[in-house]
Structure formats: C-alpha cells, structure tokens
Chains A and B, each alone.
Chain A
Amino acid sequence: MTNSPKNLWWGYIPVIVVTLLGILMTFQAYLEVNSWEQQRNNIAFRDASQDRILVVQREIEHTLGLMQDIASFFEASPVVGRREFRKFVEPAIKRHPGIRTLAWIPRVEDKQRKTFVANARKSFKPFKILEKDSEGKMVSAGDRPEYFPVLYVQPYKRNRGILGLDMAMNPEVFSLLTKSEDTGQLQVSHAIPVIDEGIESSGFMVSIPVFYKTESDTEIETGIADTPEQREIRGFALGIFRTGDVVERALESLSPGAINISYFGETRTEDEELLYTHQSRIRPREPETGDPDDAGNRLEFEQILKLGDRFLKVVCAPVPGRYEPESSSGWIVMTSGFSFTALLTIYVLTLIGHAENVKRLVDKRTAQLRGAVNTLNMEIIERKNAESELQRLNEDLEHRVVIRTSEAERRAKDLEQFAYVTSHDLKAPLRGIANLAQWISDDLQGKINGDTQEQLKLLHDRVSRMHELIEGLLEYSRVGRTAISYTQVDVRELLEEIVDSLSPPEWLSIEIGDGMPVFKADRLQLSQVFSNLIGNSIKYHGGDTGHIWIKTWESGDCYEFEVSDDGQGIAPEYHEKVFLMFQTLETRDYGSNTGIGLALVKKIVQEHGGDITLNSDTNKGASFRFTWPRAS
C-alpha cells in the first residue's frame, strides 16, 4: 500500500499550522512586549520630565519670591540704606547663581533730584543720575520731570556700569516698570539677552512696584490692594536673571536624568524663541544609531511653565540613545518564541513521523494479515473442495460398502444355506447309505463270503468318514456364525469333564496343572479347543506309555494355556500345515482323522481374539500354547 503525495501533504498540515501559529504568536508577543516597553519607557520619561519641570517651576517661584521679599523689605522700612540692601540680598545672590542683577530703582521727581543725589552720595560718593548719550557714553542726565535711577545694585562688580543710570531712558526697562506700576503687580519681561563677560545668554527681567504707604494702608491691614491710581509710586525692585542658571540651579537637586530640556519664550519681537537648552550631564550613548534628528520615534514632553504673568514653554527630550525602549526583551521573546516554535514543530514532526511509521506498520501488518487471510481462504476453499470430494468419495465408498456388505451378507446367507443343506441334505442320504449297507450286511449274514463282508465293511468305514467330514465342516462353519455366549467357566472342572469324555487309555496319564482359572468365557468353544487338543495328543501320541500336561498362567489380560505331550511330535516343516483345513499327516485310512480339528481350534481361538502356537519336533513331543482373553 502506498501513500499518494496528496495524502502525504495532508499529513503535514498540523506541522504547518503549528509552525505558522508559533510564528504568529511569537510576532504578536514581540509586538506586545515592544509596545509595553515603549509605554513603560514613555511613562518613565514623562515622569522624569515632569519631575524636572516641577523643580524648575519651584525654583522660578522661589526666584520670584525673592523679588517679592525685596519689595516687602522696602515697603516695611521707609528708609533702606545701601548697606542694608546689600546685606539683605547677598545671601540670596550667593544661593542663586541665576541672579544677574538685583537693583532698587526709586522714582525721583525733578524737584527732589538734588536732595536725592546728595543723599545717595552719602554712601556712594561718585553717584549721579546718568544717561547714555547718542554715542553710548554715560553722561549726566538731562532735566526731566522724573527720574528712575538705579540707586542700589548687587552684585556690585558686575553691575556697577548701571549704577545711577536712569532706567526711564531704557524703553525696554521703562515699559516693564510702567507696566508693573500700572498693575501694582510683579511683572516679568520677555526674554532678553544677558551679556556676561562677553557671553550672551538668555535671561529675563522681573520688576515689582513699591508704593508709599497711604492712610488707607495703615487703616486697612487686610492687605487688599488699593487701585494704583490712588497710590504714589516709591520705586521698583528690579531683578535680571539668567534663565540657564535658574534652571541649572533647580536641576542640581535631581540626579541626572538624561533629559535635555529646552525653554522657549517670547522675545522682544513677540516671537517664540529658544531661550535655553539644558544639556544633561549624561552623555549620549555610543555609538549613536541612525540619524539623531530622526524624529520618527523621538520622545518629547512639552509643558507650559508660569513665569509671573508670562509663560515659558518647556520641551523635554531624552539624550540621544537614552529612553529608548529596551528592544532586548522583545528580541528575547522573539528568540524564545522561535526556538519554542521550532521545538514544537520538530516534536509535531516527530509525532507525525511516528504516527506515519505506525500507520505504515499497521498497513504492512494489515497487508500481511490480508495475505494470510487470503491464503487461509484459499486453503479453506481447497479444503472444502477436498472435503466435498472426500465426502463424495466417502458416500461412494459407503455406497460400495453397503453393496459389498449386502453382498457379503448375501454370501454369508448363501454359506449358511450351504451349511444347512450340507448338514441335512448330504447327511441324510449318507445315513441312508450307511443304514442300507448295515441292513444288507445283516440280512445276508452267513450268505455272503468273506470278501463281500470285507467290502461292506470298507463301504461302511468310508460312509462314516464322510459323515465325520461333514460334521467337522459344519462345526467349522458354525464358529463365528453363532453368537458368543459368556458363562462363568471353571476351567479345571471343564478339563476333567473333557478328559472323562475322551476316555484316554490307561497307559497315558493326564495331569491338570494348578491355578486353573474360573472366568467368564464361551464354555462350548473353549471346551471344543481343549477337547480337540487333548484328543489329538491322545490320538497321535504313538507310544505305549506317556504323559499329557495341561498348564496355565496369566499373560497380560489373557490367560495362556498349554497342552503338551511326550509323544511322537510333529516335524517343524509341518507346523504351519497342521492348522490348515483337511490337512492330515497320516493316511486317510487311519481312524477318524478328518483334518479339521486344528483348523477349527485356530479359528475359534482367533475368533476370540487370541492366538495359538505350536512348539514341537519329531520324537520330542508337541506343545500347543494358546491365549484366551479374559472377558471384560
């Protein structure tokens, strides 16, 4: 039996399904893991970014708070000396490197100019109210209704250039101051360039107004601000801050996060512009894979920061190579998935192979079995044919047997009829002849001569002999025709009777041995055997003194009997002949020797399932042994 290729392919469908499923699931898992990683990464990045923005916001608030503190300081004391101002702001300047400038700018009316300058010169001798001329040179300010000179400024070394400078002449600063006076609130400028030791960086100005105390101020201690128009301006606290330093100062408190933070804000031109970028201390990972500007997968976090009444846009981006999703887990999952799929495929293949093998084996065995069954069937058919043939032959045979049997039965009947006819129809005329001869002899007594007498005697003898032959023949044919009838036989008693009936001569002694059995047998036929054998011994002894011995012993399930004598014996060449019908060893003239006796004996013995043997030699006596089965 062979598999068609189609069947073969169908057998591998499970393998293909398993493999495809494995690959599919592996890809799915890979994507899931990657997306999960990405998400996790995004969250981590966002958290880190938020942390950073938060501290920056706090720092900014803190910085603005510092300005508020200065304002409060001026509000609290009507007169603040240069020294006091320095003492107040110094610690803050030390703590906050982002502070570029902290200044106190009072409002001075023209009528107060002289007093003001005189007072200022008490602590700073060269003080004057200055302005920049068209060439940028510092010159004493011209006459104006009011001035906004920088009275105190810290840190001094960096800012001494602006001491005494009338800020009203700087439109940028002035607009900020005016705005804060108008709103009565802290105001933050748009981004300004801050030049420090030749390096320009981005910064911002913060202005906060300080008003003279009014009656209502003292009365109402609730802190509810009066409208600015009702209040008279005393001066302004002005701060200039470097954005970068503020940010760096804030981020100092955090461990490096590998995040670059960019700040965008309004500039003079009202455009949004990059003010500062915080570069993380963590270096980009080497080697940098792909294009760093590749924004495809770029992480970014954006938030708006409040800076007073202005806003700062903060954009966080990871250092290149950082905050990239761990692709290794994905690869591990992929590798594991593929390995597992491969293993599974191999396993399924093995299973299918095994199943194929088993199937092939089963097919082979089935084919063998079918072959055997076919052979068997053929054999059965053959056998049946043979059987029917045999039956036919049997029937034929039976038929023949029936025919033969009936034939045999018919022949047996014929024989019986023949025996009967012989017994009656032959014997009757013979007897007639004998009687007639007797009567003739009797009637002619004395009238016939010796020769005739002798002839009549011979006639009588021949008739008698014929009579005996007929009797013997009848007896012989009767053996086997008559049913065997079993009776309890005492063999010793039987032998004594036989010996008595045979009337042996006196010179012959007959000894009946010990242990003669008593058993069930056909008495008549056993008696016939014994009387024939003993009779023969007597008849043919041939001596004038002698013995006949009759002995017995058990032999298996038979009794064995022996009749032996010390007579003339029988020469070995005649041993077979003696058992044949009508065979005699003496002349026909002798007595009543019919030649039937031993043939009859042999037939009787064999008819009963025994056998007879002769052991004898000339002048050494004769010994006949025969077996007679014990009837069961």
Chain B
Amino acid sequence: MLDKGAEILLVEDDRVDIMTVQRALKKNAVSNPLHIARTGLEALGMLRGEGDYEKLVPPPQLILLDLNLPKMSGIEFLREVRADSELKSLRIIVLTSSNEPRDREAAFQYDVDDYIVKPHSFDEFTRAMATILELWDAD
C-alpha cells in the first residue's frame, strides 16, 4: 500500500483522463495528495523547482505518466529524469492509451515500474488503479 500522505504526481494533459484518475482514486478511497502536471516540462519544473513552479518537497513517491504529451513527450521526460542524479530513482508508472510495442520497449528502457494501457471502461480503469495501489510496495 502507498504510504499515507505520500504524494502522487500525475502527468497528464487530457482533462477527462485527469478526472478519470481522480475519480478512480476516490472510488478506491485513496486520499493521498495528487499533484497534476499537464506537460513533461511542467512536471520537470515541479520536480526540480524550476521556473514558475514550486519544488515538490518531498518528492512524489509515485509518478503516473502519460506518454502522449504536448511540448515534451513522456519518453523525453523519462530520459530527462533518468539523466538527473537527483531524480533518477523516482518511481514511475506509465499510464497510456498506446499499446504499441515500440512505446512499451522505449518505456521499459528507462526503467519504469509498470506499463499500463488505459482500459477503455471506467470500471476497469478503477480496478486497474486499485491493483496498482494495493500491490504498491513502498520500499
């Protein structure tokens, strides 16, 4: 289980998908703080405290990352994070609608903890989120 109070960073540009995650968490009775970044750049800014963004302290225990993002794609974001000595150990789960083997391979190349294709139906989505959080090992 995720630590109580452990923060979650969701990197997602689609409002409905953000709502889906929020609803799913709510439905699963998860009340951990959820930060939202709409682009990869924004997420990096929040993690590093760069630009207009306040640095997230402590760093989020879990990052839910969409791959198809404006300005900086999820893969690019992964590359930046893994290249950053401070951030490279962050735990990241890819949450994407792409089922392409190409994307899957690219993601795993950057040492992601899981790769989840967004289920089509909300119920399935909720179940998938529950599974992720339940099986989460905070170590």
Residues of A within 8 A of B (CB): 419-420, 423-425, 427-432, 434-436, 438-439, 464, 467, 471, 474, 478, 482
Contact = CB atoms under 8 A, between A and B. Distances in A.
Contacts of A467: 120
B122 A423 contact: no
Chain B CB within 10 A, most for which of A419, A423, A430: A423
Contacts of A431: 16-17, 20, 97, 118, 120
A424 B16 contact: no
B122 A424 contact: no
A438 B14 contact: no
Nearest to B24: A435
Chain A CB within 10 A, most for which of B14, B17, B97: B97
Interface stretch (B33-41, B46-54, B84-92, B98-106): B98-106
Nearest to B102: A420
B120 A464 contact: yes
Contacts of A471: 99
A435 B100 CA distance: 22
Interface string B4-36: 000000000010110110010000000000000
A380 to B, nearest CB: 55
B20 A435 contact: yes
A431 B20 CA distance: 10
B120 A428 contact: no
Nearest to A482: B101
B16 A474 contact: no
B61 interface: no
A419 B14 CA distance: 20
Contacts of B17: 428, 431-432
Contact of B16 (A425, A436, A464, A482): A436
16 contacts: A423-B98, A423-B99, A424-B67, A424-B68, A424-B97, A425-B68, A427-B97, A427-B120, A428-B118, A429-B16, A431-B17, A432-B16, A432-B17, A435-B121, A438-B121, A439-B122
A545 to B, nearest CB: 33
Given A434-B122, A435-B16, A439-B23, A428 B97 contact: yes
A389 to B, nearest CB: 45
A471 B117 CA distance: 12
A432 B122 contact: no
Contacts of B121: 434-435, 438, 464
Contact of A435 (B67, B68, B96, B122): B122
A435 B22 CA distance: 12
A429 B14 CA distance: 9
A403 B9 CA distance: 47
Contact of A423 (B16, B20, B97): B97
A464 B124 CA distance: 13
Main secondary structure of the interface of A (DSSP, over half): helix
Given A428-B68, A431-B97, A435-B20, 16 more contacts: A423-B97, A423-B98, A423-B99, A423-B100, A424-B68, A424-B96, A424-B97, A430-B120, A431-B16, A432-B20, A435-B16, A435-B19, A435-B122, A464-B121, A467-B120, A471-B99
Contacts of A425: 68
A435 B15 CA distance: 12
B20 to A, nearest CB: 5
A455 B50 CA distance: 48
Contacts of B67: 424
A7 to B, nearest CB: 88
Contacts of A438: 121-123
How big is the B interface, by class?
20 to 34
Nearest to B99: A423
A420 B120 contact: no
Contacts of A423: 97-100
Nearest to A460: B121
Chain B CB within 10 A, most for which of A419, A425, A438: A438
Chain B CB within 10 A, most for which of A424, A436, A464, A471: A424
A474 B120 contact: no
A351 B118 CA distance: 108
Chain B CB within 10 A, most for which of A432, A435, A438, A471: A435
Interface in B88-139: 96-101, 118, 120-123, 125
Contacts of B122: 434-435, 438-439
Contacts of A478: 100
Contacts of A420: 98, 100
A434 B98 CA distance: 17
Contacts of A432: 14, 16-17, 20
Contacts of A429: 14, 16
A479 to B, nearest CB: 13
Nearest to A431: B120
Contacts of B68: 424-425, 428
Contacts of B120: 427, 430-431, 434, 464, 467
List of 4 A-B pairs having minimum Cβ-Cβ separation, nearest first: A432-B16, A438-B122, A427-B97, A424-B68
A516 to B, nearest CB: 28
A425 B14 CA distance: 11
Contacts of A424: 67-68, 96-98
B14 A428 contact: yes
A315 B114 CA distance: 162
A474 B122 CA distance: 22
B8 to A, nearest CB: 19
A394 to B, nearest CB: 36
A436 B122 CA distance: 9
A438 B19 CA distance: 12
A478 B14 CA distance: 26
Chain A CB within 10 A, most for which of B100, B118, B123: B100
Nearest to B125: A435
Contacts of B96: 424
A435 B23 CA distance: 10
B67 to A, nearest CB: 8
B92 to A, nearest CB: 19
A297 B101 CA distance: 138
A421 to B, nearest CB: 9
A294 B16 CA distance: 164
Chain A CB within 10 A, most for which of B17, B121, B123: B121
A303 B99 CA distance: 156
A430 B98 CA distance: 13
Contacts of A434: 120-122
A242 B99 CA distance: 172
A400 to B, nearest CB: 30
A439 B122 CA distance: 9
A442 to B, nearest CB: 8
Contacts of A419: 100
Nearest to A428: B97
A275 B92 CA distance: 176
Contacts of A474: 99
A485 to B, nearest CB: 10
A432 B121 CA distance: 9
